[in-house]
């Protein structure tokens, strides 16, 4: 029983050491930097665009005017949020392929 515990402890230490090496590698840092540079600006844009509609409809009358026919700018802005969400999803899906290639590179480096 004690030997199983010591083996498990050695495996845990070994896995921890390998993880630390991977995290400190240049490739892993590049992956984190690229993900951060992509995700943070898009997340900020999404939040600003998303919360603009309820703020404008609650505290101003900017979107109350009619864009065409009986459709107001509020409806157009709300529909634009769907388009924005789909666009961001497509952009992220395409960018994720780049991230996946970096992860494969990291895995190859880790395996030696």
Concatenating the DSSP letter of every residue in 67-85 gives: EETTEEHHHHHHHHHHHHH
Q: What are phi and psi of 69, to 5 degrees?
A: 60, -130
- Alpha carbons 97 and 54: distance in angstroms, whole number: 34
Q: What are phi and psi of 68, to 5 degrees?
A: -160, 140
Q: What is the mean pLDDT of each run of 10 residues along the chain (112 residues)?
A: 69 78 93 96 97 96 93 96 96 95 92 82
- Alpha carbons 53 and 82: distance in angstroms, whole number: 12
| Residue 1: per-residue pLDDT | 52
| Residue 56: per-residue pLDDT | 95
Contact call for residues 99 and 39 (beta carbons, < 8 A): no
Distances (CA, A) of 48 to 16, 18, 29, 41, 44: 39, 40, 28, 11, 6
């Amino acid at each position: 029983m004690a030997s199983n515990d010591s083996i498990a402890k050695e495996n845990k230490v070994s896995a921890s050491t390998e993880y630390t090496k991977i995290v400190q590698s240049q490739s892993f840092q590049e992956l984190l930097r690229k993900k951060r540079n992509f995700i943070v600006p898009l997340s900020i844009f999404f939040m600003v665009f998303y919360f603009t509609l309820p703020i404008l409809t609650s505290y101003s009358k900017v979107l109350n005017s009619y864009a065409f026919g009986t459709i107001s700018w509020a409806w157009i802005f709300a529909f634009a949020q769907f388009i924005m969400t789909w666009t961001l999803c497509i952009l992220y899906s395409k960018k994720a392929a780049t991230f996946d290639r970096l992860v494969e590179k990291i895995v190859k480096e880790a395996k030696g």
